[in-house]
């Protein structure tokens, strides 16, 4: 029996359309901060690498070119403090979302299995479990997994820095999940796509810990997978440029499956990825751009009487009202100012009193949003 698509939830952003229409009626126009889609130019060095590899008549390797896989390894060593990764433990992907949605299925999970994921989380972790026929289990620590489900968990999703609330998991938090999962034969996958965007200490200085850090897995990558992306840190969302890295045995299984499916990033995109990963200066410049916009929006949000929680890293501000009113009411309030945000209900029951605002507006749009908030 095939999968019943009707079993999936409604695509969340379809529910936001009436509020988008309301915001668009504002005399000053719509300021859409509901989705974290970059608006700044893709750095020239990435564009040049893409153009330079445009003569690409043959099929690229599914697992990724040798140059790209080496660039990912070097990136983890230089930017994340990870030294135990090897090129055979790297796989190129078509953005990170497709792997998040398909990983449970690719690992062979099905009815009777369970997938643990954060309680307030990117919806695709839940969707990926449902696509496989497995049960999604919201849990922020191993102790929150119900005893009767613990043995059924075959995949654990972590997200640090977290979307939507900017939480960062420390080494001890990550290691606790790894120990728990390994005792049950489960895979741990960490979505680390916002790792370059840390604002609060100690993460701004020390960096966001990776699941692949030797302190987390005891020097072993067995059962561990970390996802990375150039969408945010390099303004390359349109390239669908991402990767998964970690346990070489798991990477080999995924690569073998993806060969049958023809899932391979285009050769020119892989060349552009290798060039981007070799240059950290453009990432630092973009981080400072977001830092500046974040300060402007934080001021406006505070002036309007909202309360920001978490948000110590990542691409979003997570906030609520003093009386924690329903998120959809806050969405409507902000839409009346011409500002569109995402309701926290998209991310689980724990987000029902919150909204998420992205930092991905132009300088002018961010300044105008803050001005409207302050005036309100």
Write the CATH number for 288. Answer: 3.90.1150.10
**CA-wise closest residue to 295 among 342, 355, 359, 341:** 359
In tens, the pLDDT along 220-235 reads: 999 999 999 999 999 9
Same domain, 297 and 320: yes
In a domain, 3, yes or no: no
Range of the domain at 313: 11-41+282-375
The mean pLDDT of 71-97, rounded to a whole number, is 96
Same domain, 36 and 68: no
Same domain, 330 and 235: no
In a domain, 197, yes or no: yes
In a domain, 168, yes or no: yes
In tens, the pLDDT along 145-169 reads: 999 999 999 999 999 999 999 999 9
CA 12 to chain centre: 16
CATH number at residue 256: 3.40.640.10
Same domain, 269 and 232: yes
Dihedral (C-alpha) 50, 82, 37, 339: value to the nearest 10 degrees? -160
pLDDT score, position 2: 46
**Residue whose entry in the numeric block shows the structure tokens 């990912």:** 72
b/e per residue 223-252 (b: at least 16 CB within 10 A): bbbbbbbbbbbbbbbebbbbbbbbbbebbe
Asked if residue 177 has pLDDT above 50, the reply is yes
Asked if residue 330 has pLDDT above 90, the reply is yes
In tens, the pLDDT along 120-145 reads: 999 999 999 999 999 999 999 999 99
Same domain, 58 and 146: yes
In tens, the pLDDT along 105-119 reads: 999 999 999 999 999
In a domain, 257, yes or no: yes
**CA-wise closest residue to 242 among 118, 93, 83, 89:** 93
Same domain, 229 and 365: no
In a domain, 5, yes or no: no
Same domain, 49 and 37: no
Same domain, 326 and 223: no
pLDDT score, position 10: 73
Asked if residue 1 has pLDDT above 70, the reply is no
The mean pLDDT of 284-299, rounded to a whole number, is 98
Same domain, 29 and 62: no
Asked if residue 208 has pLDDT above 50, the reply is yes
- 302-305's contacts with Cβ under 8 Å and 24+ in sequence apart are 303/370, 303/373, 303/374, 304/373, 304/374, 304/376
In a domain, 6, yes or no: no
Same domain, 190 and 108: yes
pLDDT score, position 12: 75
In a domain, 4, yes or no: no
Domain edge (last residue) among 215, 247, 278: 278
Asked if residue 7 has pLDDT above 80, the reply is no
Return mean pLDDT, the chain. 95
Going by pLDDT thresholds of 50, 70 and 90, the confidence category of residue 174 is: very high
pTM of the model: 0.94
Cβ atoms of residues 137 and 110 within 8 Å:
no
Same domain, 166 and 231: yes
pLDDT score, position 189: 98
Domain edge (last residue) among 278, 296, 327: 278
What are the beta bridge partners of residue 228?
Answer: 243
Cβ atoms of residues 33 and 370 within 8 Å:
no
What are the beta bridge partners of residue 156?
Answer: 116, 188
Same domain, 144 and 273: yes
Domain edge (last residue) among 278, 312, 339: 278
In a domain, 2, yes or no: no
Domain count for the chain, please give it: 2
The mean pLDDT of 347-353, rounded to a whole number, is 95
């Amino acid at each position: 029996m095939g999968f019943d698509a009707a079993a999936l939830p409604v695509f969340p952003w379809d529910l936001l359309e009436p509020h988008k229409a309301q915001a668009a009626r504002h005399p000053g126009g719509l300021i859409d901060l509901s989705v974290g889609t970059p608006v700044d130019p893709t750095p020239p060095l990435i564009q040049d690498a893409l153009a330079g590899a445009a003569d690409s008549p043959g099929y690229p390797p599914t697992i990724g070119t040798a140059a790209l896989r080496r660039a990912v390894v070097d990136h983890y060593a230089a930017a994340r403090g990870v030294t135990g990764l090897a090129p055979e433990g790297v796989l190129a992907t078509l953005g990170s979302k497709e792997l998040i949605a398909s990983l449970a299925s690719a690992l062979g999970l099905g009815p009777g299995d369970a997938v643990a994921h954060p309680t307030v989380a990117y919806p695709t972790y839940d969707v990926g479990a449902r696509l496989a026929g497995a049960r999604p289990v919201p849990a922020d620590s191993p102790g929150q997994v119900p005893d009767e489900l613990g043995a059924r968990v075959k995949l654990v999703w972590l997200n640090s820095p977290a979307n939507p609330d900017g939480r960062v998991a420390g080494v001890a938090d990550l290691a606790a999940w790894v120990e728990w999962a390994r005792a049950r034969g489960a895979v741990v996958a960490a979505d680390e796509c916002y790792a370059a965007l840390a604002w609060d200490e100690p993460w701004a200085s020390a960096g966001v810990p990776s699941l692949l850090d030797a302190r987390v897995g005891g020097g072993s990558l067995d059962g561990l997978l970390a996802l990375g992306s150039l969408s945010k840190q390099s303004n390359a969302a349109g390239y669908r440029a991402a990767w998964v890295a970690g346990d070489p045995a798991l990477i080999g299984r995924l690569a073998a499956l993806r060969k049958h499916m023809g899932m391979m990033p285009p050769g020119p995109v892989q060349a552009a990825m290798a060039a981007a990963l070799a240059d950290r200066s453009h990432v630092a410049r973009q981080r400072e751009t977001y830092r500046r916009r974040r300060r402007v929006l934080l001021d406006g949000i505070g002036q309007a009487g909202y309360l920001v929680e978490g948000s110590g890293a990542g691409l979003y501000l997570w906030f609520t009202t003093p009386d924690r009113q329903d998120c959809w009411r806050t969405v409507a309030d902000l839409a009346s100012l011409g500002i569109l945000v995402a309701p926290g209900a998209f991310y689980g029951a724990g987000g029902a009193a919150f909204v998420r605002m992205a930092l991905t507006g132009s300088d002018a749009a961010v300044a105008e949003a803050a001005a409207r908030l302050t005036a309100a």
